[in-house]
Amino acid sequence: MGTKLKSYSHLIITKIIICAIVITCFTGALTAFVDTAVLSDGDFEIVSEDNYFQSRAYIQENESLVATLTQLIGEYKSEKYILKGGSISEEELRSEAENLYSDFQLQSKSYNPNLSEAENYKKFKEVYKDEIAQAKGRLIKNDLREFHLLKQNLEAYEGLVYYASNGTNVFTNSTKKEQTQFKIYPSYMIFENYKREIYPNEVEDNEHLYGITGQIDELNPETTVVYVAFTEEFLNLKIKEWKEDKVAATNNLYKVVAFLIGLILSFLYLLLIIGRKSFDDREVHFHAVDRLYNDFNLVLCLGMIMLWVTLLDRVGFENAHQMSIPITAPIATAGLILVLSLVKHFKNRTLIRHTLLYRIFYKLFVFVRNVYDSGSVGVKTVLLVIGYPILIVITFFMFPVTIGAAAWFAFKKVKSFHAIQEGVERIKDGDLRHRIDVEGEGEFERLADNINSITDGLKKAVDSELKSERLKTELITNVSHDIRTPLTSIITYVDLLKKEKDSSKVEEYIEVLDQKSKRLKILTDDLFEAAKASSGDIPVQLEKIDIISLITQGLGEVNDKIEASDLEFKMNHPEDKVYMKADGRLLWRSIENLLSNIFKYALKGSRVYIDIEDTGSEVLLTFKNISAYELNISADELMERFKRGDESRFSEGSGLGLSIARSLIELQDGKFSIQVDGDLFKSIICMSKHQNND
């Protein structure tokens, strides 16, 4: 069954059927929407309204009547009042006078530009006295016409009883003039003495009530009286009409939802299969319509939307629901064909490239680029000067966009240039931490990156030089101190030895001289070895090293020192042998330095852990011990030459052990690091694993 469906999924007949479903659903949804708009007079809220008194329709029945009454009693009042000019505002008179004054300035010979504005205006009132009076007469005539028109409109209200007064003038279609007389009706609105009384109470919750109360609030509450009421027959008729409209609008809404669901599902399926002959087909197949440029396609789509709106507007709001299907179906069919063509180009990734504008600009760009790349600076300048005006002429229909884009581009480039210029000045003044931030991928951006790279290099060189100078100073100070101490002792004891006659003291002095001379030799050897390790002037022969055997054998050789230091060594390693790629002599020298460091600085009676870990491509060798001295310096400082865990320098170390170990490990392409956690001191050697373990 699935195979059969798959074979029919992309047939022409299948696509035609799906297109017909899409057009039917689209036309049906629009028709149902238009029907709803016509039935509810554009009031789509009727579907969610609970009852007639909370509906917009109820407010609309009252709103136009109240608007007419408030305009009559508030603005026009009476025919006598209008004839006296009472309805004409100062602003209206001033506007008419300004128009006449403009005419006076342009056409009247009485206007004298040498006079002041006040003098000319005074002259204007004298010359245009009759015209001003005529303008006022026109305004009075217009207001009088509007007054009688509003009174005629009041006569058209049937089923609504009203009474409105401003204390002098009264407008009513009933002999009833008291509140109590209006309260006998099933629905009424009473506005009098700053108060309002509305029945039934549900009307107070109507969110559109402000349309009525807002008009009443503009009148003088002390003299204004407005009563409006529904007759029972009229109200029952309106409630019945509202209920019928609500049912019809709700049904149409269900139709809209149903058609939209069908439209979405069918259109999505059509998007999936259009342009392909099967689900496995990766090629997009085009037809004659698809040759139309996509920008023209979009213009036609927008034109058909405007045509649809224009045709519906021409047939009129009342006839729109009858003509919506004949108008919508053919336009929707043509529009669907154009939209599917755009979808095909989107699938083929030619949505932008298959446009006339793209073709024009691309060819122009290629031509300009070829000339620009092959020309000199003068040719490029002339090309820019000539080419940009031509571009403006070609794109005259969108010249503000073109000019705006050029201005933005120029501003961006100038901003980038100023950023580079300012950055170079700051770097020149010695601010090597400053970075030039220029966004994008152009020449200015590459220049900024290059300058930043140079700055980084200068900063590293300066930092390295400062550190080197500091280390040299510390080296000289420490070497002087460490050499002077045993040398001073040797000189002192040699002087004592020359004068001493007691043989027992002579032997004691010779023993001290022997210790100090050996100490001086060790210090000299360490300095020599540190210098050779740092310079890399040591031959390295990498070979296959069994690290477990090397450590085990080495610990046996220094067993006397282990016992003398009262330390307990714990070794953790894999059961299988682990092979490193290293120089055995240099590796053991590094390990020997670490062990010597442990013997000198580890806490007596504590444990020392040696862990060997195989990570797959590397071997980690970790030494952990508890320091006998408080480690109040960082790991980086301990790695520097002549740095010791005891800053008091009471221990026998030279401070070169860790530095020599790191240099020797790095000569073997390994990594050496230390970590300090409280009094826990950890040394880590990381070497490449020997891949051939046979």
Q: List 625's β-bridge partners, or say none.
A: 681
| Residue 643 confidence class, pLDDT cut points 50, 70, 90 | very low
Q: What average pLDDT is seen over the chain? A: 78
What pLDDT score does 400 carry? 66
DSSP3 helix / strand / coil % (the chain, rounded to 5): 65, 10, 25
What pLDDT digit, counting tens, does each position of 329-360 carry?
A: 888 888 888 888 888 888 888 888 888 888 88
Residue 163 main-chain phi, psi, to 5 deg: -150, 125
* DSSP letter string, 329-358: HHHHHHHHHHHHHHHHHHHTT-TTTTSHHH
What pLDDT score does 362 carry? 81
| Residue 648 confidence class, pLDDT cut points 50, 70, 90 | very low
B/e letters for 574-591, b = 16+ CB within 10 Å, e = fewer, are eeeebbbbbbbebbbbbb
What pLDDT digit, counting tens, does each position of 607-641 carry?
A: 999 999 988 889 999 999 998 877 767 666 666 64
* Dist CA 310 CA 320 (whole Å): 11
For 209-221, what is the mean pLDDT?
85
81 by Cβ neighbours in 10 Å (0-12 / 13-18 / 19+) ranks as middle
Which one is predicted more confidently, 41 or 649? 41
What pLDDT score does 1 carry? 41
* Dist CA 215 CA 68 (whole Å): 10
* Dist CA 318 CA 257 (whole Å): 23
What pLDDT score does 443 carry? 61
What pLDDT score does 386 carry? 63
Which one is predicted more confidently, 54 or 429? 54
What pLDDT digit, counting tens, does each position of 227-240 carry?
A: 999 998 988 998 89
Q: List 530's β-bridge partners, or say none.
A: none
pLDDT at 651 over 60: no
What pLDDT score does 464 carry? 67
Closest CA to 168 of 75, 70, 77, 72: 77
| β pairing state of 568-572 and 671-677 | unpaired
What pLDDT digit, counting tens, does each position of 176-203 carry?
A: 888 888 889 999 999 988 888 988 888 8
What pLDDT digit, counting tens, does each position of 449-471 carry?
A: 777 788 777 777 777 667 656 65
Residue with tokens 């003088």: 220
pLDDT at 316 over 80: no
What pLDDT digit, counting tens, does each position of 370-425 carry?
A: 665 555 444 555 556 666 666 666 665 555 666 666 666 666 667 777 777 777 88
What pLDDT score does 483 carry? 66
What pLDDT score does 405 carry? 64
Q: Is 570 helix (H, G, I), strand (E, B) or coil?
A: strand
What pLDDT score does 178 carry? 87
For 62-85, what is the mean pLDDT?
86
pLDDT at 10 over 80: no
